[in-house]
Amino acid sequence: MKNLKTLLILVLTASIISCSSDDDNRTITPPGEGGEIIENEIKGEISADSKLLSSIEYTLTGSLTVKSGATLTIEPGTLIKAKSGRTDVFLAVERGAKLIAKGTASQPIKFTSDASSPKAGDWGGLVLAGRAPSNKGTDVQSEVAGLLYGGTEADDNSGELSYVIAEYTGAKINGEQEFNGISFFGVGNKTVVNNIVVNNGNDDGIEFFGGTVNVTNVYCSNIADDMFDWTGGYTGTITNAFGVRNDGFDAATDDPRGIEGDSNSSDATATPISTPTLKNVTILNLNPDVQLKAGAEIRRGTVATINNILFAAYGTASFGNRIDTKDDKGDGELTITNAYAQGTVGDDKIGGTLTGVVSEITDGITVPANNTVQTKAGVGADLSAFAWANPSFVVTK
């Protein structure tokens, strides 16, 4: 009788659509019984509180959208493999919905590709939308996933992402639409985001489109475009951010950067102005074949503050510019304290304002042996915070 009861309630609520069998059987237990999603192939819309279980290896075979009013909880240690080679495979969270992906250091939650030889761009990524302010408006459509975002609720809550890994993201729909590893569209500061890793992304690692969400401990490695990116009036704080391009990761856009900060490319004076604060940041290039265009490009009205940042290039790897505040669509303003540079990281290109001095050092990053990296205490990001994710480096001496 339980199966009959489950099926009846699912027909009424249409909580999720699963394509795991020929008769399109919908198998999610009713919310009163835990809401567990027990079919291993998932896609469709979630309109009632539901849960992904660590005991099941899931395959994401299309878009999975958490609808307004619903919460999707993902248990610690859950593995979700995305169908590779598609641009319609992603996880989206609407305004008014929540994603509770709360892993642990010993049991992180992982989103990855199902390909036998995975690569950057195999699938879309994670897309969250909220009601926090954006200088694009209050009902703006996201670049991907078709979500509305923006509003007036700085303290909006889209849930929690903790100890989450997203790999092989960044599917490109066309030249103007492409997924990032994790995209935050108007996400508010009641949302908890910490201990996040994006590996092997075909566009940006993480990007903020307006919003006020704060992020602590974020690691981006092997990102084809920008490691850390914001636009649209983002006003949150990013603490302990480590970005690296490894030797051998040659996927790159025309202008890969460590940090790209915009406010509004159509009107640099549009409010709210992007005024983020960054604390404890390392931008590292280990790849001699791909130059980072800039360590940090702050432009188009952005007014940013960065305390404790290291720009480092090892061996023959390099940056084009270290800091760039000049742009034909509006210059930027950057205030830096405790800023350091190591290796061939270029000069500063000043069009707007740069306040502060970058000190040259030789020991912020050391390589005691091939494929190992050590960081100097107190300089840039604390790499040890990411030990739970077993970060790997490729260094050619």
Of the given ranges (175-184, 209-218, 287-296), which has the lowest mean pLDDT? 175-184
Is there a domain that residue 285 lies in? yes
pLDDT at 30 over 50: no
Is there a domain that residue 12 lies in? no
Per the CB < 8 A criterion, the answer to whether 159 and 112 are in contact is no
For 183-222, how does the pLDDT look when each residue is reduced to its tens digit (9 = 90+)? Answer: 999 999 999 999 999 999 999 999 999 999 999 999 999 9
For 338-355, how does the pLDDT look when each residue is reduced to its tens digit (9 = 90+)? Answer: 999 999 999 999 999 999
Is there a domain that residue 369 lies in? yes
Q: SS3 for 385?
A: helix
**Nearest one of 40, 118, 111, 39 to 84, comparing CA atoms:** 118
Is there a domain that residue 7 lies in? no
| Domain residue limits at 62 | 31-389
Of the given ranges (1-10, 124-133, 247-256), which has the lowest mean pLDDT? 1-10
Question: Average per-residue pLDDT in the chain?
Answer: 91
Where do we find the tokens 């248990």?
A: 75
Is there a domain that residue 119 lies in? yes
**Both structure tokens of 236:** 């949150």
Count: domains in the chain:
1
Instruction: Kindly tell me the burial class for residue 127, based on how many C-beta atoms sit within 10 Å of its own C-beta (0-12, 13-18, 19 or more).
Output: buried
pLDDT at 175: 65
**Nearest one of 385, 293, 380 to 342, comparing CA atoms:** 380
Where do we find the tokens 């690691």?
A: 219
- CA-derived radius of gyration, the chain: 21
CATH of the domain at 182: 2.160.20
Is there a domain that residue 10 lies in? no
Of the given ranges (22-36, 178-192, 320-334), which has the lowest mean pLDDT? 22-36
| Other CB atoms within 10 A of residue 363 CB | 11
Is there a domain that residue 189 lies in? yes
Q: Across-strand partners of 3?
A: none
Is there a domain that residue 16 lies in? no
DSSP 254-277: SS-EEEEE-S-SS-TT-SSPP--E
